[in-house]
């Protein structure tokens, strides 16, 4: 399944095929997105400070990689090293 979102002139748009045109999200889709983000935000408030720091560090590490396969491989290697120690 293909899905891509992009902000165009301040409007959140999406397309469901690689060759398709970006179309503005409907108000229903935007409402669902807002609710989803509110739930994620609420979940973050229930996480302790140590977990928040770990999440932020992971996000920062992910942002350094353009290839997620490379990131996952390096993350798995780090986890294996932790288990060995």
| 3-class SS letters over the chain | CCCEEEEECCEEEEECCCCCCCEECCHHHHHHHHHHHHHHHHHHHCCCHHHHHHHHHHHHHHHCCCCHHHHHHHHHHHHHHHHHC
Residuewise pLDDT in 10s, the chain (85 residues): 899 999 898 888 999 999 999 999 998 888 888 888 888 887 777 777 777 788 778 777 766 665 656 666 777 777 777 767 6
Q: What pLDDT score was predicted for residue 81?
A: 77
Q: What pLDDT score was predicted for residue 18?
A: 94
């Amino acid at each position: 399944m293909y899905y891509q979102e992009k902000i165009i002139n301040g409007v959140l748009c999406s397309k469901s095929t690689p060759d398709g045109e970006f179309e503005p999200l409907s108000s229903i889709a935007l409402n669902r997105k807002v609710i989803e983000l509110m739930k994620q935000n609420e979940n973050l408030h229930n996480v302790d400070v140590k977990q928040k720091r770990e999440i932020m560090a992971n996000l920062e590490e992910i942002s350094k990689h353009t290839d997620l396969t490379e990131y996952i491989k390096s993350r798995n290697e780090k986890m294996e090293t932790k288990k060995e120690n």
